[in-house]
């Protein structure tokens, strides 16, 4: 187990010493890296539905202790006949950043990424499995912690991150994503006109990045529930990546069905 920075240690000690009130969840990352699998997709792209179905199947067979999965719906397809209601320009910007950090030039959909590999061949099950196993074997250079409570109006999230003892001063980017499973759209225009598309792990909110140049960081954020929110099918992913290469340093996944709503006073 990696040694933690005193600031994060204090945060985790406070979490452990505090009785767990209704609606509160506290979790921390493990000793090895949890892989983050990202897909960049759009409802207006006719090559995306097969990849979306694969991603949904992967989400149903992968536990939060095996990998974190996030589906980012990009907005640059919106002008081609069908505006994706789950798309956000911030997700398109993140895709651009990931490709730039990996020293590549082209963004496309569907595009699957794991760490600094931004061109994952998702159709190759054996290669994907090997990649995930290789990532999971790496000792974590970053420790992450989440302290979450939810009400009818919002999620209240305490975020903690700390470099492992002896880790260098490489700049890190830390992000927090809220995702939702079980979403569906009937497409009425564009390349997928007439189709009903099902989606899982759809990013509904993205906070960050926090730039982590110091040994640790801690912050508290509030995320308002998005439209069509259903906490029983939602979760949070906190993740840290290299600010130089985009390599995944650590991730932490928390399904919100583990966090009952806080009773009103």
Q: Is 92 left (phi over 0), alpha (psi -120 to 50) or beta?
A: alpha
What is the residue-averaged pLDDT of the chain?
Answer: 89
**Tokens 């994952």 belong to which residue?**
120
**In the prediction, which pLDDT does 21 show?**
38
Cβ 58 vs Cβ 69: under 8 Å:
yes
Answer whether residue 16 shows pLDDT above 50. Answer: no
- For residue 117, give the 3-state DSSP assignment: strand
Report d(CA 175, CA 193) in Å as an integer. 34
Sketch the domain layout of the chain as residue ranges: 6-258
Q: What are the tens digits of pLDDT across the range 91-150?
A: 999 999 999 999 998 999 999 999 999 999 999 999 999 999 999 999 999 999 999 998
Pick 6-258's CATH classification: 2.60.40.2060, 1.10.3720.10, 3.20.20.80, 3.40.50.1100. 2.60.40.2060
The pLDDT > 70 percentage for the chain reads 88
> What's the rounded Cα separation, in Å, for the pair 202 and 185?
12
The per-residue b/e assignment along 101-129, b for 16 or more CB within 10 angstroms, e otherwise, is bbeeeebebbbbbbbbebebebeeeeebe
Query: Model-level pTM?
Result: 0.89
Helices within the chain (DSSP H only): 6-17, 48-61, 89-101, 125-136
pLDDT at 195 over 90: yes
> Tens digits of per-residue pLDDT, 210-233?
999 888 899 999 999 999 999 999
């Amino acid at each position: 187990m990696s040694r933690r920075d005193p600031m994060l240690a204090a945060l985790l000690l406070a979490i452990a010493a505090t009785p767990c009130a209704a609606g509160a969840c506290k979790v921390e990352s493990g000793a090895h890296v949890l892989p983050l699998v990202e897909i960049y997709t759009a409802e207006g792209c006719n090559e995306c539905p097969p990849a979306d179905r694969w991603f949904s199947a992967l989400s149903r067979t992968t536990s939060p202790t095996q990998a974190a999965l996030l589906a980012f719906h990009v907005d640059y397809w919106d002008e081609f006949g069908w505006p994706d209601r789950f798309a956000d320009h911030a997700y398109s910007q993140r895709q651009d950043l990931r490709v730039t950090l990996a020293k590549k030039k082209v963004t496309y959909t569907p595009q699957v990424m794991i760490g600094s590999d931004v061109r994952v061949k998702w159709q190759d099950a054996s290669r994907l499995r090997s990649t995930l196993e290789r990532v999971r074997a790496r000792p974590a250079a970053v420790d992450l912690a989440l302290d979450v409570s939810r009400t009818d109006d919002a999620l209240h999230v305490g975020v903690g991150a700390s470099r492992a003892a002896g880790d260098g001063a490489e700049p890190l980017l830390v992000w927090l994503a809220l995702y939702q499973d079980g979403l569906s759209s009937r497409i009425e225009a564009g390349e997928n006109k007439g189709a009903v598309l099902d989606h899982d792990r759809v990013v509904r909110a993205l906070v960050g990045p926090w730039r982590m140049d110091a040994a640790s960081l801690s912050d508290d954020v509030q995320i308002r529930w998005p439209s069509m929110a259903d906490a029983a099918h939602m979760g949070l992913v906190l993740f840290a990546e290299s600010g130089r290469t985009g390599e995944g340093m650590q991730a932490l996944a928390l399904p919100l069905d583990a966090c009952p709503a806080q009773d009103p006073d």
